[in-house]
Amino acid sequence: MTAAPPAPTHEQSGPRVPRSVRWYRRISVKLALGLGLAMFSIQFFAFILIIETYSPDYDLWDTVRGGASEPYAEYLSTRLRMDEAGYWVPTDEAETVVETFLGPGETFVWLSPDKRVRAAGKTALDYLEIGDEWPLCDSREYCGVSLAGDRRGGSTWTPLGIEGHHIGTFVLVWFDDPKIAARLSQQRAQSELISRIIASAIVATLTSALLVSLVTRRLSQLAADASTPLSENPENVDLPGPFAVSGDDEIARLATALNTMRGRIEQLVGRLEDRDRQRREWIAQVSHDLRTPLTALSACLERAMERYSNDGKPHDRGLIEAIQVARQDGQRLQTLVDDLFELARLDAGEKLVAEPVPPGELVRQTVRGLRPLAEARNLKLTADVAPSLPTVRADGRRLMRALENMLRNAIHFAKARVVLSVYVDEGMLKFEVSDDGPGLPVKAGIVRLGQSDSAAKRPDSAGLGLIVTRRVATAHGGKLDGRNLPEGGAAVWIQIPIEEHT
């Protein structure tokens, strides 16, 4: 026979953090990419059509060189020498530098004031000689040039002077080379294509971003409304919404669906709150009804124990031990009922009875009340009260109940000692119970209060008592926490704010 699989266990974990949607799965990104691609294609081809239709047909050679001679002329203006004929000409070093920076198909000519060639680049000297007259036109921006061998080209020139006297003219010359012209035309076409792509991408990006913003704005508003943080107080259920519904599209239907789901959740929460209220009232009533017979039962057991102990007659030892066990079980049951009743009152929102409470006296009184229980287990129970503690406003009865629960839990697991101490820690009043027992259970690196992995389970209200202790600390604006001690054992404490009594 096959054994049944074990039932699944549900471990309490923290709130689930919603995973962020990966960027390539987001609707806004997909819309932006789609619209951007469409807008880019339309605008790119539109730019090409407009430019090809309305751009003038011009000659690269006639436009790109205008004014290009000026930087070279400025460079040569401080690097001149006097030749054998008494004319100012560039130095040999300056000519070499100029030729180095000239582009393909370019050369230069240096003219004297009478427009005769006094210096020239190596390429120019293939078609003219020093002393030849140069046909300098009136336009300094562009001049056509015809040289020997039907070599044609263009030029641009810049005059130079010293103290107002014209000393010469620098002429930048380029020849009409079909290969160079084709290469320049190709470079210009490539630069124009890159410019069109960049312009199209910019316009497409801005346009698609605007369209996506308009389309997803309502979705973003829905997401923002739906992700409104909830109140940290578990008693308050502040559901997001209601959500605005406008239009008759998919987004409006989504908002309607969210409002419908919100209404169902509100109905469910209302039912749960009603059931929880009934449960609290039932627990409070049952625990209250149990206290009377338990008190009577405890009193009967006490009288029976006194009767058999004080009449001086020999009795059945087994009967006496049974009465003692019944007394202990009655006390444990009384503690359990008291914890249950206190928890029901706290759940019902019963307000604290604030009064001036001296922390030291509260600790000493709690230790005195539970010392017999500790001595019965051969434990040393002590109180450690820091000096000069302030008197605080708190519910003394409930604080004592919380301390008793912590002490009972420590007494059950301790080996030799239990210490209840009180002191001020980081502006908070701290009640701490430490023992030398096996320590608190740890799971996934986190101390689990109210849980035990040891074989010895508490037969009384340890788990419920710590729940009551936590509720008492929370009601005072504090918290319950604990840790394992390095030397062995555990420390459990509650911290409450200090509100000094005046």
Residue 458 has what pLDDT? Answer: 47
pLDDT at 22 over 70: no
Span 345-363, average pLDDT: 79
- Taking only the tens place, the pLDDT of each residue in 254-309 is 888 888 888 888 888 888 877 777 776 666 666 656 666 766 666 677 777 666 66
Q: pLDDT band for 242, please (50, 70, 90 cuts).
A: confident
Residue 53 has what pLDDT? Answer: 57
Span 226-252, average pLDDT: 68
d(Cα 240, Cα 217) in Å, to the nearest integer?
18
Q: pLDDT band for 111, please (50, 70, 90 cuts).
A: very high
Q: What are the C-alpha distances in Å from 297 to residues 302, 303, 473? A: 9, 10, 32
- Length of the chain in residues, anyone? 502
Bigger pLDDT: 252 vs 360: 360
Domain borders along the chain are 23-57+183-226, 63-176, 269-350, 353-497
- CA-based angle 195:198:201, to the nearest 5? 145
**What is the full DSSP assignment across 354-381?**
-EEE-HHHHHHHHHHHHHHHHHHTT-EE
Q: Which residue matches tokens 């604990």?
A: 482
d(Cα 373, Cα 360) in Å, to the nearest integer?
21
pLDDT at 230 over 70: no
Residues of the chain above pLDDT 90, percent? 12
Residues of the chain above pLDDT 70, percent? 65
Q: What are the C-alpha distances in Å from 254 to residues 101, 186, 211, 218, 239? A: 68, 55, 21, 11, 17
Residues 370/371/372/376 CA torsion (nearest 10 deg): 110
pLDDT at 432 over 90: yes
CATH class of 353-497: alpha beta
Residue 431 has what pLDDT? Answer: 93
Bigger pLDDT: 22 vs 70: 70
Bigger pLDDT: 13 vs 141: 141
pLDDT at 408 over 60: yes
Three-state secondary structure string covering 97-164? HHHHHCCCCEEEEEECCCCEEEEECCCHHHCCCCCCECCCCCCCCCEEEEEHHHEEEEEEEEEEEECC
Span 178-183, average pLDDT: 60
pLDDT at 23 over 70: no
Residue 330 has what pLDDT? Answer: 67
Bigger pLDDT: 141 vs 87: 87
Q: Which of 331, 181, 343, 330 is nearest to 276 (CA)?
A: 343
Q: Is the dihedral of CA 353, 359, 365, 368 positive or negative?
A: positive
pLDDT at 420 over 90: yes
pLDDT at 110 over 90: yes
Strands 490-497 and 479-484: antiparallel
Q: Which of 273, 264, 261 is nearest to 237 (CA)?
A: 273
Residue 233 has what pLDDT? Answer: 55
d(Cα 347, Cα 117) in Å, to the nearest integer?
110
pLDDT at 14 over 60: no
Task: Count the helix, strand and coil residues of the chain and give each as a percent rounded to the nearest 5.
Answer: 50, 20, 30
Residue 289 has what pLDDT? Answer: 60
Residues 113/115/116/122 CA torsion (nearest 10 deg): 100
d(Cα 350, Cα 341) in Å, to the nearest integer?
12
Highest mean pLDDT among 141-145, 186-190, 246-250: 141-145
pLDDT at 456 over 70: no
Which CATH number applies to 63-176: 3.30.450.20, 3.40.50.300, 3.30.450.40, 3.90.1150.10? Answer: 3.30.450.20
Residue 171 has what pLDDT? Answer: 92
Bigger pLDDT: 93 vs 475: 93
List alpha helices for 55-110, DSSP H.
Answer: 60-63, 69-76, 92-101
pLDDT at 16 over 50: no
Note the CATH architecture for domain 269-350: Orthogonal Bundle (1.10)
pLDDT at 99 over 80: yes
Q: Which residue matches tokens 């005769």?
A: 116
Bigger pLDDT: 152 vs 367: 367
Span 175-194, average pLDDT: 68
> To the nearest whole number, what is the mean pLDDT of the chain?
75
Please tell me whether the overall predicted TM-score, pTM, comes out greater than 0.75 for this model. no
d(Cα 182, Cα 176) in Å, to the nearest integer?
11
pLDDT at 377 over 70: yes
